[in-house]
Amino acid sequence: MKKILLSILLVCAPALMMAERADFHVIPMPQSIQTDDSQVFTLQTGMGIAYDASDPEVARNVQFLRQWVEELTGVKLQLTPDDQKAPIRFVLGFPTDKKAKKVKKGQKPAELTEQQQEAYILTVDQSGLTIAARKPVGFFRAVQTIRKALPIKAVSSIELPFTTITDEPRFVYRGAMLDCARHYFSPDVIKQYLDMLALHGCNQLHWHLTEDQGWRFEVKALPELAKKGSVREKTVLGRNTGVYDGLPYGGYYTQAECRELVNYAAERYINIIPEIDLPGHMMGALHVFPNLGCTGGPYPVWPIWGVSRDVLCPGNPETLKFLKTVVGELCDVFPSKFIHIGGDECPKDRWKECPKCQAKIKELGLKEDGKHSLTDQLQTWVNHEMEQFLSERGRDMIGWDEVLEGGLTEGGIVMSWRGSQGGIEAAKQHHRVIMTPTSHCYIDYYQLKDAGAQPLGIGGYLPVSKVYSFEPQQPEALSEEEQKYILGAQVNLWTEYVAYPEHVFYMLLPRLDAISEVQWTQPAQKNYDNFRERLNHMFKLYDKLGIAYCHKVE
C-alpha cells in the first residue's frame, strides 16, 4: 500500500510543482537590461541547446548551463548541437560586429578591448533564449547571469521574461586575494573560492603563498624549503597573547596541485597571480636557509602575527640566486602575465647594521637623494633585479605600493593598499595600478559594528555598504587620461585570524558581491538600495550551494 502511495506521489509530483519566474537583475548588475515582464518564454525539461560541438570550450560552457539549471531548478535541458530549431542557442559572434566590419570595408577593424572580448548579448523572445558572445568567455559570463537569474526551487518550468541584455565588464582587472600562508587552505577550498569569484564575474585570483608564518609553494630545486618552511611549531592564541596552542601547523601546495588549480581557474576564466612576498615576510624561508638573513639566524617559522624585522639580506649574493630559483619555478608553474613579488612591510633595521648590506650599497653606488633612504634604494635594486628577471620571461611585476618608494621601473604595476594615494601617484607617473586600499578592500576587517557578534578578527570595520561605495578611478584626483592606468580593484583576505573554510567564506560574502559591482558595473548603473534587494536572492543561492556568508548587512 505504501509503495502504491509513493508511486502515485512520484507520478504526480511534477504536476504539483509550479512554474517560477527568472529575474535577470543579478549581481553584478549588467550594463544594459531591457525586460518586458508581460511576455515570457517557458523553459522546460527536454528542451534542446544548439551550439558548435566541435569547439570544446563552447561545449564546456553549454555543460555549465545544463548543470546549473538542473542543480537549481531540476529542469533538465538536452544537448542538441545540430538542431537549428532548438529553443536555446549559443551563437559565436555579434551581428553588430559584422555590420561594423562591412561599413569600414578596406580599413583595419578596431582592436577589441579585453572587456569587449568578454561581452555577451542575451535575448529572450518567443523563439527562445539566445546567447551571443564574441569569445567563449562571453558565454561563460552569460551563463553565470542566467544561473543567478534562476528561481532556486524544484519547478516544473521556468518563465523567462522577454529580455535583452547587453553586457561587458567595466574594469579589465577584477580580483580577490586569498592569503594561504598565515593559514593553509586545501585545493578543494581554493576551488570553492574560485567558484565564488567566477559567480561574481571576477577574473583574477591573487594567491598569497609565502609568509613569516609559513612557506607554501613547492620549489623542486629546493625540496627542504616547503617541507620545513611550511611548518610552524605552534601558533599564538588570539592577538599575540603570549599563549600558544602547542600544535605544529603546516601544509603546502605541490607544483602538481598548483597546475591543477591553474587549469580549474582557467576553465572558469580566472587567472591565478601567485605572490612570493620578498624581501620581507620571509621567516618561512629563513628558517630553512638562515644564511640568507643578515644575522645568520637561527630563525623560527614565526608563531606570532605582525611584521618580522628579520628579512632577506640583499648583501648576500646567494639571496638573489635563491629568489631567481624560486620565481623561475613560479613562472614555470603559473602562466600568468602578472607575477606578484610583494615588497610590502620590509623593515630595514637589519640592513642598516649588516656589513654585507652596507657593502652592497657602496658597490651599487647608491647615494642619498633627499627622497629615498639608502636602504629603500637597496630594496628598489632587489625589485628591479626581479622585474628584469620577470621581463626576460615575458611577465610583468606587481608589487605592493611600497615598491614606489625607491622609484619604480616602467613596466611595474602598483597594488595600492595603504590607501589610494600610492595608486594615484603611480597613475600620475603612468604606471598601471590595481586599487585595493585598506579603507574599502580589506575584508579581513570586521563587517559588523558589533565585533562580539563575529568570529575574532584583526579589527577594523569594513561594512558591505562601504565596499560598495568604492570608486577605483579616483576622478577627483586623476584626469581622464590618468584614470586609464587604473586596471581595476580587488578585495584582500588576510588570514591571521581566519583558520577555517567557513570563516573564509563568511568574510568574503557578501562583500565580494559589493566589490563585484564596483568592478563590473558602470557607476551610473550602481544603486546601493537596489543592490541590497538583489542580495537577498544571492543569499538563497549561497544557502542552496551550502556556502557560508555573513547574514547581516551593514
Q: Residue numbers of the site for Zn ion (CB under 5 A)?
A: 294, 313, 315, 354, 356-357
Which partner in ligand ACM, Zn ion, none is near 294 (CB below 5 to 8 A by kind)?
Answer: Zn ion
C-alpha to C-alpha distances, 535 to 153, 476, 492, 530, nearest whole angstrom: 17, 30, 21, 9
Q: Does 471 bind ligand ACM (CB under 6 A)?
A: no
Show the site string, 358-397: x = touches ligand ACM by CB under 6 A, - = not: ----------------------------------------
Which is nearer to Zn ion, 375 or 516 (by Cβ)? Answer: 375
Choose the one of ligand ACM, Zn ion, none that binds residue 313, judging by a C-beta under 5 to 8 angstroms depending on kind.
Zn ion
Considering beta carbons, is residue 269 or 400 the nearer one to ligand ACM? Answer: 400
Residue nearest to ligand ACM (CB): 344
Left (φ > 0), alpha (ψ -120 to 50) or beta: where does 454 sit?
beta
Neighbours of 335 (CB within 10 A): 13
Nearer to ligand ACM, 294 or 434 (CB): 434
In angstroms, give the least distance from the CB of 541 to ligand ACM.
30
In the complex with ligand ACM, the residue whose CB is nearer, 252 or 417, is 417
3 state SS for 313-376: CCCCHHHHHHHHHHHHHHHHHCCCCEEEEECCCCCCHHHHHCHHHHHHHHHHCCCCCCCCCHHH
- Taking the CA atoms of 444, 449, 451 and 453 in sequence, report the sign of the dihedral they define: negative
Provide, rounded to whole angstroms, the least separation between the CB of residue 88 and ligand ACM.
45
Distance in Å, CB of 417 to ligand ACM, minimum: 4
345: partner contacted, choices Zn ion, ligand ACM, none (Cβ within 5-8 A by kind): ligand ACM
Count, residues near ligand ACM per rule CB under 6 A: 4
Of 114 and 345, which has the nearer Cβ to ligand ACM? Answer: 345
Q: Which residue lies nearer to ligand ACM by CB, 260 or 345?
A: 345
Q: Comparing C-alpha atoms, which of 314, 324, 326, 434 is closest to residue 377? A: 314
Between 88 and 504, name the residue whose CB sits nearer to ligand ACM.
504
| Cα angle 285-347-467, degrees, rounded to a multiple of 5 | 90
Please report whether residue 400 would count as binding ligand ACM according to CB under 6 A.
Answer: yes
**Nearest approach, Cβ of residue 311 and Zn ion (Å):** 9
Which amino acid is residue 485, in one-letter code?
Answer: Y
Work out whether 345 is an interface residue with ligand ACM (CB under 6 A).
Answer: yes
Residue 315 contact partner, candidates Zn ion, ligand ACM, none, CB within 5 to 8 A by sort of partner: Zn ion
**Subset of residues 305 to 344 that bind ligand ACM, contact rule: CB under 6 A:** 344
Which residue among 120, 417, 468, 470 contacts ligand ACM (CB under 6 A)?
417
Of 144, 115, 117, whose CA–CA distance to 268 is shortest?
Answer: 144
* Closest to 125 measured CA to CA, from 23, 35, 29, 24: 35
Using omega within 30 degrees of 0 as the cis cutoff, is the peptide bond preceding 472 cis? no
CB of 291 to Zn ion, least distance (A): 11
Q: Is 111 left (phi over 0), alpha (psi -120 to 50) or beta?
A: beta
Three-class SS state of 149: helix
Does position 159 interact with ligand ACM (CB under 6 A)? The reply is no
54 vs 493: CA distance, rounded Å: 40
Residues that bind ligand ACM (CB under 6 A): 344-345, 400, 417
